[in-house]
């Protein structure tokens, strides 16, 4: 065709009109229409309805695809088309294009799937061939292998959770849109070939990393409970739901995920989080992280916010007006403003530091949790919809819940409530008021109560008769003497431990499963009707018997600390645990209790116990009894066996192969074979008669204690797991711990070790090696030591510079001349007494609390840096002065046996004990030391002492000073007063009514009034100038020494407890000791006595009557006499034939002509005059 300019113009104009969507009239179509060729290319066996098609521009065309038998349409693409069934329709054709068709042979699932459970899952879903499977859910199948899944190329939905799969290959499953593989063991997964994924759940796996950069269509991603340390979601801008909880994420960037509606990042390691771009958020859960702050001011669509268990100090919620649920528990919030969030129904701010909170505007609240804060008051009168109110562990003294009539649960445990009114809360089912100060509570209106907890209050009584729905009632630790529970027939749990109940009737409580009545005053109880009881606790009562034959379901029975002489458990066939410690039971029959697992029979009088019918026994305790034998051969499950404090000489545990803990301490075992007990972890054989023990088969041993035996050797080279070893008080000469590298505690005290190598025990925290024969000790490698004790050795030098963790160092009784403790900055206790130190520097030891450096050669000591010192002993040195003015925390100070001429304790106001005797003090000021309880200042040069401000003083010892007077009238608590060897002429002790020991010897007293000292047990009055003394008020007196005075008479008839009486060198002409039957020592020498009757004094051991005027003496009733002195009297005869215990007899200077000592074979000393006819073997002494 010839194209002219006119034709070309018309063609261009037509194209212009067409391109603009317009054109000429229907009858004015172009005479030339553009067409394109569509070519069909097919591979595989099958047919297509056309192989070449001419299509007008902008039009569509369709072809029909027919696979041959045994084939299917695998893929069809090209020309912008799509397939429906067997028909492929192109898009609008704008150019020539090719449709590519691929027919593939059907693949039977049974040929490609090897896992039988996976095959079963697929076939039960209706699939026969691989190409037919588009969705697969195999949650209920135990699939172990996904071999063959690569052939399921049409799969768009796959759910396979909780299958424990370690790996999966999805590279061929490119059509996947939904994938759930939660609850497997995947550590890696490749998702790069899955561009169509919308929903992905990989929760509960072991993924440490995950690449989702190619999965840009994801809207829902869950990877919770994995081990992710980082994840990049910046490419996943379509996400609306992101859950990454319980991983190890330190940061997450969600700034690109502006469509997020729900974001869960709980239980990670986030210190900050920016959600300012996530304005669509409705749910934000970031609890259990390390957030100190978070800005949610842009998230005004939030309904659920969970930020619990972080470190938030403050939170601004002013823009979050749509909040419905708010969880901020376990933070550090001191204030919170909630007035803008009017729709809140749940608030949880447990465990913060709130001192106040205003919830008056939050009237939709149904749940309010504010446990463990610092609230002193709370107003909930506006919260009428409250169903749950938790206010445990605050400082509330009162709470008004009268408006909260919908309350179902109220918790006020651990507050300061003295009263509470719950009469307007008739719907309450749970009420917890434990740990308050309630002395009364009215619950008669709360008829729906199912659980009532009132433990640890001050309730003397309570009425629960109206609470017929009660299932659980807790009244532990109150003041109840009785309670009526007859109106509570549904009770299953009743706890009345720690009250003062003398009786309890539970015969109406037939549903009781748990009954706790420990620590009451019950002499008996009837539980025969409580057939549903599973647990019965009656520890610490006054039971002498109990009948449990009606409780066949009992699994736990606790009868510790009663007065039972027996217990019959033959009907309790379900019993698993039995405790009868501290009773008087000598035998028990457990033959019917075949299910017993734990038995504790400590502190009874069992000599034998039979356990042959208890094959399930795992724990047995029969300590502190009289066991001489026990057969455990039929208890193969025993894991814990405690038999300390019995009389066992042997024990066979060869059948107890599960034994992990064995305590046989304090028995009489000479030898024991433990080779079969290879699982042993804890072994205690303290205080037996062992000369050897073999632990070479116990590779699992962790704790080994062999104190107080006779072991000369011990091989622990194979016990490489040992952490605790104690072999104190044996006869070990060597011990090899080189292989025991895990040791943390090593105790080898009181042995005969001359060397000790701990160089390999680098984990040691405690080492005790006192009283051995060590001359050196190398601690270079033991840098973790906290306790080090090597007292009573012969060590002359020690290096502790590497022990920076040391808290306690005991190096007493050695030969140490110098020690450097400047690196031991954590030292709290230091004991260096009885060494050869001439100086010691503790200026760096600022934490020192106890310091004993007595009996050294110190001439000076600087304690100014040790402000925390509590106990300081520096006795027996050569100190002329000591400054303790900076040691204001001192409680005990001992500076005795030095050369101090002065001592300033004015700053030591907490001093309770001051020991400063045997110095050269001429004065001491104690006015500031009002806390003093014990004061020893004897052997000084004090001429005056003021103790008038010491009202709590109970011991005062100031003998051998130069005191002319002392006033103790302000010391009513004194129990011991020693003012002997001074210059006192008088002493007033009438106010000291607690005195037990009074020593006033060697003074110039002429009288002493003890009429108010009714507690007096010992009185020393000797060497004074006393002429008379009245002891009638001192009926508790045990010892009276008043020799070398001027006493002419004394009445001792009221002093019936006297054991020692010394009245020598007085002016007594008579003395009646007939009422003093307990006397063991009677010394009356140098008086004017013409007779002394000792016939009632049958306990006499020592009798001295020298230098008197006795003409006769009857000692026939004194069979225990050991010493008899009667020198210089006028006795003409003396009969000692009945005194067989005599060891010393002096009868010099009497008028004796005969002396018979034939029966006195124990005599070692015998003195008699020349000319006396003496008969007996002792006469030649």
Distance CA 867, CA 343 (A): 58
Name residue 1060's beta-bridge partners: 1039, 1081
Q: Mean pLDDT throughout 596-607?
A: 96
Decide if pLDDT at 188 tops 90.
yes
**Is the Cβ–Cβ distance between 1058 and 1077 less than 8 Å?**
no
Q: What DSSP element (H or E) covers 8? A: helix 5-19
Per-residue pLDDT band for 508 (boundaries 50, 70, 90) equals very high
Q: Mean pLDDT throughout 22-43?
A: 66
Distance CA 1076, CA 1079 (A): 6
How confident is the model at residue 503, as a pLDDT?
Answer: 97
Distance CA 661, CA 690 (A): 19
**Could you write out the DSSP letters of every residue in 610-636?**
B-TT-TT--EEE--SS--S--B-TT-T
Q: Mean pLDDT throughout 532-555?
A: 98
How confident is the model at residue 768, as a pLDDT?
Answer: 98
Tokens linked to 791? 């007292």
Distance CA 17, CA 26 (A): 13
Q: Mean pLDDT throughout 791-804?
A: 97
Model confidence pLDDT, tens digit, residues 427-441: 999 999 999 999 999
How confident is the model at residue 11, as a pLDDT?
Answer: 38
Best CA proximity match to 38, nearest among 84, 82, 94: 94
Tokens linked to 1143? 């060891």
Distance CA 419, CA 753 (A): 66
**Is the Cβ–Cβ distance between 707 and 685 less than 8 Å?**
no
**Is the Cβ–Cβ distance between 683 and 700 less than 8 Å?**
no
Tokens linked to 389? 């109110």
Decide if pLDDT at 23 tops 50.
no
Q: What DSSP element (H or E) covers 745? A: strand 745-747
Tokens linked to 1089? 């006595």
Question: Which residues have C-beta within 8 Å of that of residue 1, sequence separation ≥ 6?
Answer: none
Residues of the chain with CATH 3.80.10.10: 107-181, 207-332, 336-458, 863-1005
- What does the CA dihedral 278, 279, 280, 284 come to, rounded to 10 degrees? 60
Model confidence pLDDT, tens digit, residues 639-654: 999 999 999 999 999 9
Decide if pLDDT at 117 tops 90.
no
Per-residue pLDDT band for 1081 (boundaries 50, 70, 90) equals very high
Instruction: Identify which has the larger pLDDT, 581 or 122.
Output: 581
The CATH fold of domain 207-332: 3.80.10
Q: Mean pLDDT throughout 677-695?
A: 98
> Distances from the Cα of 67 to the Cαs of 71, 104, 129, 131, in angstroms?
5, 8, 15, 13
Report the largest interatomic distance among the alpha carbons of the chain, rounded to a whole angstrom: 186
**Is the Cβ–Cβ distance between 1006 and 987 less than 8 Å?**
no
Per-residue pLDDT band for 21 (boundaries 50, 70, 90) equals very low
Decide if pLDDT at 18 tops 60.
no
Decide if pLDDT at 1048 tops 80.
yes
Decide if pLDDT at 1101 tops 60.
yes
Decide if pLDDT at 135 tops 60.
yes
CA 789 to chain centre: 26
CATH architecture of 336-458: Alpha-Beta Horseshoe (3.80)
Distance CA 906, CA 888 (A): 9
End-to-end alpha carbon distance in the chain:
171
**Is the Cβ–Cβ distance between 815 and 834 less than 8 Å?**
no
For tokens 């005290």, what's the residue? 749
Best CA proximity match to 868, nearest among 841, 886, 882, 894: 886
Q: Percentage of the chain with pLDDT > 90? A: 90
Model confidence pLDDT, tens digit, residues 1151-1165: 999 999 999 999 999
Per-residue pLDDT band for 7 (boundaries 50, 70, 90) equals very low
Model confidence pLDDT, tens digit, residues 245-263: 999 999 999 999 999 999 9
Per-residue pLDDT band for 26 (boundaries 50, 70, 90) equals very low
CA 1064 to chain centre: 62
How confident is the model at residue 652, as a pLDDT?
Answer: 98
Per-residue pLDDT band for 968 (boundaries 50, 70, 90) equals very high
Q: Which segment of 81-90, 602-611, 1148-1157 scores lowest on mean pLDDT? A: 81-90
Mean pLDDT (the chain) is 95
Distance CA 375, CA 396 (A): 6
Decide if pLDDT at 106 tops 90.
no
Q: Does domain 863-1005 have CATH number 3.80.10.10?
A: yes
Instruction: Identify which has the larger pLDDT, 368 or 10.
Output: 368
Per-residue pLDDT band for 1001 (boundaries 50, 70, 90) equals very high
Per-residue pLDDT band for 500 (boundaries 50, 70, 90) equals very high
Best CA proximity match to 38, nearest among 48, 53, 50: 53
Q: What DSSP element (H or E) covers 15? A: helix 5-19
DSSP code for 6: H
174: left (phi > 0), else alpha (psi -120 to 50), else beta?
alpha
How confident is the model at residue 32, as a pLDDT?
Answer: 61
How confident is the model at residue 632, as a pLDDT?
Answer: 98
Question: Which residues have C-beta within 8 Å of that of residue 1087, sequence separation ≥ 6?
Answer: 1063, 1064, 1065, 1066, 1067, 1068, 1069, 1071, 1107, 1108
- Helix, coil or strand: residue 906: coil
**Would you tell me which CATH number, out of the four given (2.60.40, 3.10.20, 1.10.10, 3.20.14), belongs to the domain 34-105?**
3.10.20
3-state secondary structure 543-563: CCCCCCCCCCCCCEEECCCCC
Please give the radius of gyration of the chain, using alpha carbons only, rounded to the nearest integer. Answer: 48
Per-residue pLDDT band for 929 (boundaries 50, 70, 90) equals very high
Residues of the chain with CATH 3.10.20: 34-105
The torsion angles phi and psi of 121, rounded to 5 degrees, stand at -60, -45
Q: Does domain 107-181 have CATH number 3.80.10.10?
A: yes
> Distances from the Cα of 563 to the Cαs of 551, 557, 582, 583, 1103, in angstroms?
21, 16, 8, 5, 47
Model confidence pLDDT, tens digit, residues 717-776: 999 999 999 999 999 999 999 999 999 999 999 999 999 999 999 999 999 999 999 999
Decide if pLDDT at 125 tops 90.
no
Angle at 278 between CA 272 and CA 279, to 5 degrees: 130
Q: Mean pLDDT throughout 554-580?
A: 98
Model confidence pLDDT, tens digit, residues 1106-1145: 999 999 999 999 999 999 999 999 999 999 999 999 999 9
Model confidence pLDDT, tens digit, residues 774-787: 999 999 999 999 99
Distance CA 970, CA 1078 (A): 35
Q: Mean pLDDT throughout 464-470?
A: 97
3-state secondary structure 346-396: EEECCCCCCCCCCCCCCCCCCEEECCCCCCCCCECCCCCCCCEEECCCCCC
Distance CA 490, CA 188 (A): 55
Per-residue pLDDT band for 72 (boundaries 50, 70, 90) equals confident
């Amino acid at each position: 065709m010839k194209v002219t300019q006119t034709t070309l113009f018309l063609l261009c104009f037509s194209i212009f009109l067409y391109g603009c969507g317009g054109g000429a009239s229907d009858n004015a179509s172009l005479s030339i229409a553009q067409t394109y060729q569509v070519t069909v290319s097919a591979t595989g066996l099958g047919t297509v309805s056309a192989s070449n098609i001419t299509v007008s521009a902008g039009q569509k065309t369709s072809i029909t695809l027919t696979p041959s038998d045994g084939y299917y349409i695998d893929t069809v693409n090209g020309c912008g088309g799509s397939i429906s069934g067997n028909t492929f329709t192109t898009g609008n054709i704008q150019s020539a294009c090719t449709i590519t068709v691929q027919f593939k042979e059907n693949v039977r699932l049974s040929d490609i799937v090897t896992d039988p459970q996976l095959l079963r899952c697929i076939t039960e879903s209706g699939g026969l061939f691989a190409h037919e499977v588009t969705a697969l859910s195999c949650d209920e199948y135990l699939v172990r292998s996904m071999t063959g899944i690569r052939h399921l190329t049409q799969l768009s939905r796959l759910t396979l959770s909780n299958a424990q799969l370690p790996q999966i290959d999805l590279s061929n499953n490119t059509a996947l849109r939904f994938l759930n593989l939660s609850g497997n063991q995947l550590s890696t997964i490749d998702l790069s070939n899955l561009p169509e994924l919308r929903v992905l759940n990989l929760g509960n796996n072991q993924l440490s990393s995950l690449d989702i950069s190619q999965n840009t269509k994801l809207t829902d991603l869950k990877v919770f409970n994995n081990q992710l340390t980082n994840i990049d979601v910046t490419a996943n801008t379509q996400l609306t739901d992101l859950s990454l909880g319980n991983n190890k994420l330190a940061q997450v960037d969600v700034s690109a995920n502006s469509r997020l509606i729900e974001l869960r990042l709980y239980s990670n390691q986030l210190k900050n989080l920016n959600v300012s771009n996530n304005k669509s958020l409705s749910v934000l859960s970031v609890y259990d992280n390390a957030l100190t702050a978070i800005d949610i001011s842009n998230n005004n669509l939030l309904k659920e916010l969970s930020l619990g268990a972080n470190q938030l100090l403050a939170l601004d919620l002013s823009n979050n007006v749509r909040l419905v649920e708010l969880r901020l528990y376990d933070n550090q919030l001191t204030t919170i403003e909630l007035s803008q969030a009017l729709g809140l129904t749940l608030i949880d701010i447990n465990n913060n530091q709130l001192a106040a909170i205003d919830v008056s505007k939050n009237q939709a609240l149904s749940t309010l949790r504010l446990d463990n804060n610092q609230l002193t008051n709370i107003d909930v009168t506006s919260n009428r919809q409250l169903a749950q109110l938790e206010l445990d562990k605050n400082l509330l003294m009162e709470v008004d819940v009268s408006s909260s009539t919908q309350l179902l649960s109220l918790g006020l445990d651990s507050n300061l409530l003295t009263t509470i009114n719950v009469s307007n809360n008739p719907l309450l089912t749970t009420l917890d008021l434990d740990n308050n100060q309630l002395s009364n509570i009215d619950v008669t209106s709360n008829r729906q109560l199912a659980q009532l907890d009132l433990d640890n209050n001050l309730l003397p009584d309570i009425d629960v008769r109206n609470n017929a729905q009660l299932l659980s009632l807790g009244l532990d630790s109150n003041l109840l003497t009785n309670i009526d529970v007859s109106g509570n027939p549904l009770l299953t749990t009743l706890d009345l431990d720690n009250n003062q109940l003398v009786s309890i009737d539970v015969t109406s409580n037939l549903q009781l499963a748990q009954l706790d009545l420990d620590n009451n005053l019950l002499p008996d109880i009837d539980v025969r009707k409580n057939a549903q009881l599973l647990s019965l606790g009656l520890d610490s009562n006054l039971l002498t018997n109990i009948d449990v034959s009606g409780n066949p379901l009992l699994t736990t029975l606790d009868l510790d600390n009663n007065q039972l002489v027996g217990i019959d458990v033959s009907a309790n066939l379900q019993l698993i645990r039995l405790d009868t410690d501290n009773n008087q039971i000598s035998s028990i029959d457990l033959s019917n209790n075949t299910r017993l697992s734990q038995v504790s029979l400590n502190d009874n009088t069992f000599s034998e116990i039979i356990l042959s019918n208890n094959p399930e026994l795992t724990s047995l305790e029969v300590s502190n009894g009289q066991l001489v034998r026990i057969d455990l051969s039929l208890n193969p499950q025993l894991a814990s066996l405690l038999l300390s404090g019995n009389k066992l000489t042997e024990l066979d545990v060869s059948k107890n192969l599960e034994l992990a803990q064995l305590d046989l301490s304090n028995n009489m075992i000479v030898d024991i074979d433990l080779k079969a007990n290879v699982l042993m972890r804890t072994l205690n054989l303290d205080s037996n008669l062992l000369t050897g023990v073999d632990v070479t088969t116990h590779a699992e041993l962790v704790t080994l204690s062999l104190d107080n035996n006779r072991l000369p050797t011990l091989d622990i080279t194979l016990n490489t797991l040992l952490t605790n070893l104690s072999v104190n008080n044996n006869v070990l000469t060597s011990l090899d711990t080189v292989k025991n590298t895990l040791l943390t505690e090593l105790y080898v005290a009181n042995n005969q070790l001359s060397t000790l190598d701990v160089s390999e025990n680098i984990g040691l925290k405690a080492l005790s090696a006192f009283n051995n024969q060590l001359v050196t000790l190398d601690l270079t490698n033991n840098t973790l030591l906290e306790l080090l004790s090597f007292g009573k050795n012969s060590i002359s030098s020690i290096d502790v510079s590497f022990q920076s963790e040391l808290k306690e160092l005991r190096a007493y009784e050695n030969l140490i001349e110098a020690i450097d403790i400047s690196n031991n900055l954590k030292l709290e206790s230091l004991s260096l007494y009885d060494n050869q130190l001439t100086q010691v520097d503790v200026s760096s030891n600022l934490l020192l609390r106890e310091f004993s450096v007595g009996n050294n050669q110190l001439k000076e000591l600087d304690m100014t840096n040790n402000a925390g010192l509590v106990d300081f002993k520096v006795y027996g040195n050569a100190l002329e002065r000591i400054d303790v003015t900076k040691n204001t925390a001192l409680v005990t100070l001992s500076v005795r046996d030095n050369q101090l001429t002065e001592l300033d304790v004015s700053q030591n106001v907490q001093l309770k004990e001051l020991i400063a005797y045997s110095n050269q003090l001429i004065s001491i000021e104690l006015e500031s030391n009002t806390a003093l309880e014990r004061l020893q200042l004897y052997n000084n040069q004090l001429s005056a002492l003021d103790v008038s401000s010491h009202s709590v003083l109970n011991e005062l010892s100031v003998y051998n000073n130069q005191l002319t007077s002392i006033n103790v009238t302000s010391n009513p608590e004194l129990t011991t007063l020693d003012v002997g060897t001074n210059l006192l002429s008088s002493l007033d002790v009438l106010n000291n009514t607690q005195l037990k020991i009074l020593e006033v010897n060697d003074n110039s007293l002429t009288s002493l009034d003890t009429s108010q000292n009714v507690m007096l047990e010992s009185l020393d009055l000797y060497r004074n100038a006393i002429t008379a003394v009245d002891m009638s008020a001192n009926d508790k007196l045990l010892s009276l020494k008043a020799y070398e005075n001027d006493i002419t008479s004394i009445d001792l008839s009221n002093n019936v407890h006297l054991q020692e009486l010394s009245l020598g060198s007085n002016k007594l002409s008579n003395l009646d000791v007939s009422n003093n039957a307990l006397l063991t020592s009677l010394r009356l020498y140098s008086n004017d006595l013409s007779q002394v009757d000792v016939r009632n004094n049958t306990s006499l051991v020592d009798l001295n009557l020298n230098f008197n005027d006795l003409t006769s003496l009857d000692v026939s009733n004194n069979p225990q006499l050991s010493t008899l002195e009667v020198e210089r009297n006028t006795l003409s005869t003396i009969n000692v034939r009945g005194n067989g215990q005599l060891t010393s007899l002096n009868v010099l200077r009497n008028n004796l002509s005969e002396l018979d000592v034939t029966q006195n074979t124990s005599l070692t000393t015998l003195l008699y005059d020349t000319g006396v006819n003496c008969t007996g073997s002792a006469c030649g002494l």
